[in-house]
Amino acid sequence: MPTREHLHRRDANAWVIEPHGAMRVPAVIYADDELMARMDDKVFEQTANVATLPGIVGAAYAMPDAHWGYGFPIGGVAAFDPDEGGVISAGGVGFDISCGVRTLLTGVAADEVAAVRERLADALFETIPAGVGSTGDIVLGDDDMDAMLAGGARWAVERGWGEAADLARIEDGGRLAHARTECVSARARKRQRKEMGTLGSGNHYLEVQRVADVFEPAAAEAFGLRAGDAVVSIHCGSRGLGHQIGTEALREMVVSAKESGIRLPERELACAPIDSPVGRDYLGAMAAAANCALANRQIITALARRVFADVLPRARLELLYDVSHNTCKIEDHEVDGRRRRLFVHRKGATRAFGPGHPDLPEALREVGQPVLIGGTMGTASYILRGTEDGMARAFGSACHGAGRDMSRRAARKRWQGRAVVDDLAARGILIRSPSFRGVAEEAPGAYKDVGAVVGAADAAGLARTVARIEPMICIKG
């Protein structure tokens, strides 16, 4: 079992476990000294276990926010080549498929928002359902369900939830084309029938934020970010549908791995060959769940725009970008001097493509992809940009947030939700949530220092820091 003793330092912000035992490639953890000292030892074991899977390319990676997860660590990145027996793992994608963040530019000063913040907070909370089991006004019939799963954000825009211009600022144009709706079970569909346009629970949120600091003025200008302006960020995913797809796939992959002769270091790393029936079915269902998440964030965007139109009509809420975590993307990368088509798992990690990448919208291509790093309730968030150097470090990937530092149970024992809300209100941050229990679980102190995480990602060359944004209003599930 890999431990800290197996680590050696490659440079100031990268640590390596060299291949040994069943490992096919190295395990690489990006972090500075302080983050490494606090990192859960399970991250090292899990990253090394990922490195044993068939067809893995380059290395198994862990981002600076990494912590223990199911199978893969949260903050884990790994790419697989189908031509070399590569696999797909539901544990390498995660249960909340395509959980992600989108940031909207308001075009108004944060001071204008502050003048109406109580009214705005109440209106957003009343309009956008949040919390465990939250449901909205949209009820999908069978035909609409299929259309949504196939169409993603494009489906939402076609039905009036947003603008066509939004689609250019979403990964994959707002729709994963290889979705197979027939691979989504009746149970998964039932769980999602009334959940479109809802935040859900856990660490999901809608925040109204202030651009506090700009570190790269040219990139900030290209992104439309100005110090002192207000922005809106939305963090949520595929709700019950994605969770159900992940649960079902893991059961099937345990059997598939055994039948395919794959020796798993632990059951949670259950996987299937990419080109197998189980692998292809999961890829199709996963893409449909990703489309569900994209449609969900698009609908929430439209609801937020309605609220702002009523409370602060000058705000325009133009989409800066939408990034997904918890995905497996089919991408071309250069490895060992040649281009290869790979299946890149990012679990609790963000795509961070560099300047000139053809998958980026033309308006952003020269600068690089916006990388949206969400903080937790009451802490700052960050906007970074992908770099050319970063493409070679972890298949164009970066961290996705702060990363938990303690369990939800431990957080509930340490903090009271009401006290957290009062403390944040005293700092000028309004919290609206249906659950004080949920607030306690997501207390700022339950997470790593997001500034340290971002600093380590920047220093490691994964992405460059463009701006720091601070919360003003948080609608919390």
Cβ 327 vs Cβ 346: under 8 Å: yes
Helices (H), 73-116: 110-115
Q: Cα 114 vs. chain centroid, distance in angstroms?
A: 28
> How many whole angstroms separate alpha carbon 355 and alpha carbon 372?
16
> How many whole angstroms separate alpha carbon 23 and alpha carbon 261?
16
Looking at the chain, the number of H-run helices and the number of E-run strands are 15, 19
Cβ 373 vs Cβ 348: under 8 Å: no
The string of DSSP letters for 156-213 reads HHHTTSS-GGGGGGBGGGG--TT--GGGS-HHHHHHHTT-TT---STT-EEEEEEEEE
The region, left, alpha or beta by phi > 0 then psi within -120 to 50, assigned to residue 163 is beta
Q: Degrees (nearest 5) of the Cα angle 343, 347, 349?
A: 100
Contact residues for 376 (Cβ-Cβ < 8 A; gap 6+): 203, 401, 402, 442, 444, 446, 447, 450
Cβ 360 vs Cβ 437: under 8 Å: no
> How many whole angstroms separate alpha carbon 374 and alpha carbon 401?
5
Cβ 46 vs Cβ 3: under 8 Å: no
Instruction: Name the nearest CA neighbour of 65 among 399, 382, 456, 441.
Output: 399
Backbone angles phi, psi at 125, to 5 degrees: -65, -40
Pairing of strands 87-88, 272-273: antiparallel
List active site positions.
400
